[in-house]
Amino acid sequence: MRPTQAPFPATRLRRLRKSEAIRSLVRENSLSPADFIWPVFVRDGEGVSEPIASMPGVHRLSVDLVVKAAQEAFALGIPCICLFPYTDPSLKTEDCAEAWNPENLSNRATRAIKAAVPDMLVMTDVALDPYNINGHDGFVENGEIVNDRTVEALVKQTLSQAEAGADIIGPSDMMDGRIAAMRTALESDGHTNVLILSYAAKYASGFYGPFRDAVGASGALKGDKKTYQMDPANSDEAMRLIERDLMQGADMVMVKPGMPYLDICRRAKDMFGAPTYAYQVSGEYSMIAGAADRGWLDHDKVMLESLMCFKRSGCDGVLTYFAPQAARLLNG
């Protein structure tokens, strides 16, 4: 039902915009550091901070510097950090065994963060692409990304991350049936409190390019990911995928990318009411950061505006590379 209002001049909507005090009083959505999950890239070494050319201001960090970054983020009020490993090419294989190695980069970083900042939530990525010589999220057999064998491997990766102390598992692979398999394995192994934040509606998007540079997957990828990631033209399918993952045991769901898919965020929140997140992906970040570097945009203003749009679309939070910068601004 549409609310009724008196005709002009009894109703002057500009009255509600007259001053910052009034605007803050009637503001419908708010943004705080507690809304952010900060994705970070981990690499081998010590004391290493390696710039990523396609993501201005973002670096690959060695484990010791990731721990320092987590401490700083926690002090800013950011509750969660999400780890993405830059795997040495020599460790990428057909069988992807490094994905569940207890001593892989992701697991070492998880243990180090939890030891230094126990209350900082650590989210990990479940997919084979950082470890796959073919660059795909699943095993490749005769040119096909196979589903069921991949799910078995993803379960091993999930348990390895849970054992390392991950609080939130983030399956980004888009294989069928993986949430049920992961939830069953976590329950059976006693990891009953580990959360699953499912990449439930992950689109086969062109916005991932800088991320693939960041994790070293660009050169390895053979073909594309259209047989398992979603067609950007589809919306109803996203609702079916989100419903499926929730029914299989996901605690939270994610839409990826973010801003080009705000309609999906809104539909998901309205339809299911579950904790809903969006990933402001690398391409979205780089467009804003790159344009701001050239003086084409006001960096801080556009950054906060872009983050607010996720809250307005119904998201409970957002994964964003802007997290520390935004948190500093919001903290004054």
Which string of DSSP letters, residue by residue, matches 66-113?
A: HHHHHHHHHHHT--EEEEEE---GGG-BSS-GGGG-TTSHHHHHHHHH
Per-residue confidence at 68, pLDDT binned at 50, 70, 90? very high
Domains and CATH numbers, the chain: 31-330 (3.20.20.70)
Residues 21-57: tens digit of each pLDDT? 999 999 999 999 999 999 999 999 999 999 999 999 9
Low-confidence winner among 118-122, 134-138, 280-284 (lowest mean pLDDT):
134-138
CA-CA-CA-CA dihedral for 145, 201, 84, 293, to nearest 10: 120
DSSP state of 279: E
If one counts every other C-beta atom within 10 angstroms of the C-beta of residue 57, the result is: 17
Residue 202 is among the residues annotated as catalytic for this protein: yes
Residue with tokens 């230094």: 116
pLDDT for 215 beyond 80? no
For residue 252, give the 3-state DSSP assignment: strand
pLDDT for the residue 154: 98
Rg (CA), the chain: 20
pTM of the model: 0.95
Q: What is the pLDDT of residue 16?
A: 95
The Cβ of residue 315 has, within 10 Å, a number of other Cβ atoms equal to 24
How far is the C-alpha of 142 from the C-alpha of 165, rounded, in Å?
36
Residue pair 60/48 in contact by the 8 Å Cβ criterion:
yes
In the prediction, which pLDDT does 217 show? 64
| Whether 256 is catalytic | yes
- Per-residue model confidence (pLDDT) at position 54: 92
pLDDT tens across 224-251, in order? 899 999 999 999 999 999 999 999 999 9
The pair of three-digit structure tokens given for residue 221, joined into one six-digit string: 């990828």
Q: Which residue has the tokens 């003086």?
A: 295
Q: Which pLDDT score is estimated for 102? A: 97
Kindly name the residue from 202, 225, 269, 311 that is annotated as catalytic. 202
Catalytic residue chosen out of the listed positions 92, 114, 225, 256: 256
Contact 202, 277 (CB under 8 A): no
